[in-house]
Amino acid sequence: MKKCFATPEFRMLALFAAASALSGIAPYSRAVWFTESFWAWGLLALLLATRRAFRFSTAAYACFFVWSLLQAIGAHWSFELVPMGWLTGPLGLARNPFDRIAHFVVGWFAFPLAELFRRKRFAGGRASAAFFAVATTVAMAGLWEIVEWVYAVVVGGDAGAAFLGSQGDVWDAQKDILCDTAGALCAVAAWIFRGNRGKEPEAET
């Protein structure tokens, strides 16, 4: 039991739980907080439910962890209102970049997906596992943009606009998917590099 509490995965879980609890204190919008937090906690529930059937590497769990932290932050302020003056000022950005950063990190899901496809032999080799991981991540990115659109239409008002987070950019969905794709390409590059160094877990039979 003590070994379980000392694992990196448990520490990441504890940090996320604390961040999520803090994000729920006086959020910008309780509806936005609940909706954004739902996805992070849903992912956590899925990972816990499938942990015995398939355990990812610590690096893969770290990819999920970073996204979950960003989700907790965005849930508190809403993605377009997260304080980013320390970055927008020096770079001369007119738009809050937090949402774009979060979408780039969503692309990191390609790392655990490549790991899953390779170890479960859903793909013939590492190259095909990387390809399908990127393709799956981009497909999920497109599906997410549809979810945002439907939510914004159904809920409407400030909560709907905050969840959509377009900040007046008519090409917001396309740019978000581009960020997801860029993140996915970086993630599979890291996964391939990790495999080349002999740190990739063995494929399951």
pLDDT tens digits for range 116-171: 999 998 887 899 999 999 999 999 999 998 988 888 888 777 777 777 777 777 78
Give residue 27's pLDDT.
Answer: 95
Higher pLDDT, residue 33 or 3: 33
What is the tens place of the pLDDT at every residue in 46-92? 999 999 999 999 999 999 999 999 999 999 999 989 999 888 888 88
Judge whether residue 25 has pLDDT over 60: yes
CB atoms near residue 133 (< 10 Å): 26
* CA gap 43, 171 in Å, rounded: 28
* CA gap 35, 56 in Å, rounded: 26
Mean pLDDT across the stretch 175-192? 96
Give residue 205's pLDDT.
Answer: 47
Percent of the chain residues topping a pLDDT of 70:
92
Mean pLDDT across the stretch 183-191? 97
What is each CA distance from 69 to 3, 19, 62, 155, 203, in whole angstroms? 24, 7, 10, 25, 30
Question: Are 121 and 204 contacting, i.e. CB atoms less than 8 angstroms apart?
Answer: yes
Give residue 195's pLDDT.
Answer: 81
The terminus-to-terminus CA distance of the chain in angstroms comes to 29
> In angstroms, what is the C-alpha Rg of the chain?
18
What is the tens place of the pLDDT at every residue in 57-70? 999 999 999 999 99
Spell out the domain ranges in the chain.
6-196
Q: pTM value?
A: 0.88
Judge whether residue 109 has pLDDT over 90: yes
* CA gap 160, 155 in Å, rounded: 5
Which pLDDT band, with edges at 50, 70 and 90, does 2 fall under?
A: low
Contacts of 91 (CB under 8 A, 6+ apart): none
* CA gap 164, 148 in Å, rounded: 5
